[in-house]
Amino acid sequence: MPERYSSPPETSPHIRSVPLYPEEFIWEPLVSGIQYTSFSNKTSSIEWHLVSIDLSQKELQLTAYPSEAEINPDGTIQGITVKKYAKKTKAIVAVNASPFKYTGLSIFPGRSLVGLHVYQGQRLSPPIKKYAALAFFEDFEGNYKASIFSDQTLVPPQALHAFGGFYAILKQGEIIDFPALSFDSRLAAGVSKDGKTLYLLFAPGNFFGTAGLSFEECAVILSKAGAWEALQFDGGSSATMTIEGKNIKKTGFRRVANIFAFTLSNDTNFN
């Protein structure tokens, strides 16, 4: 079972004794309410990209794939690349989310979500108790708020959208320690204590010439950025982040089973 600790031990093999984040986070505004920052260390080959989203911004709109209409009668999903979805929706930022499995024996197999997927209040894929989920709600003023649930079965029916991932990695400010040691491409999400700020973290792994991150290192970075809770989404070759329609690194060639993105209520065009 994962164990919690508020101050990761320096000797932990899951948190390397190299710089993981800058002394100060310098944010670059993308649009009102969305900021971007990144970090790289050539000596350790660690690299990551981080987006901060102020969910109270009225002009921001959350969009997601798949809708009920985009799921086949047998429950499978054709899938789409994050980049294609981002261009289709004119998203400022878009990421992959849940793990999935392939179904069928054809050269174009379907995809089945592993874990919770809620689209506009409709539960389209069932929860898995051992995995975490990121859920979005609307308050009485119509603003988004986000929460992370370490158990997908606890996501309430009031959720507007919810996306299952793997495990929670940060709980009430405490980093969760995992028994397995793995450094890979990662896509993680964090939420501030008041639920009004969302953090999306992408770290390319070793097949991009970079070192990747452990679950615990993702939690450290998100905590330093301001997250109070965090979870891990599908990583490896699925891990993709696009900003203004363009992939971070040369990723995003894999069609994934679900995606969420943020757009502007006014029209935005990408080249």
What digits encode the pLDDT tens for the residues 65-108? 999 999 999 889 999 999 999 999 999 999 999 999 988 766 66
Predicted pLDDT of residue 31? 96
Of 122, 109, 63, 108, the C-alpha closest to 87 is: 63
Under DSSP, is residue 63 helix (H, G, I), strand (E, B) or coil?
Answer: strand
Q: In sequence order, what are the beta bridge partners of 176?
A: 4
Only one residue has tokens 């539960």, namely 123
* 182 contacts 13 by C-beta, under 8 angstroms: no
Residue ranges in the chain modelled with pLDDT below 50: 1, 3-7, 9-10, 271
Terminus-to-terminus CA distance in the chain, angstroms?
47
φ and ψ of 47, to 5 deg: -145, 140
269 token code pair? 């065009």
44 token code pair? 């350790």
φ and ψ of 119, to 5 deg: -125, 115
Predicted pLDDT of residue 108? 67
* d(C-alpha 166, C-alpha 164), whole Å: 7
18 token code pair? 């190299």
Only one residue has tokens 């994934």, namely 256
Only one residue has tokens 């606890």, namely 154
DSSP H/E element including 48 = strand 46-54
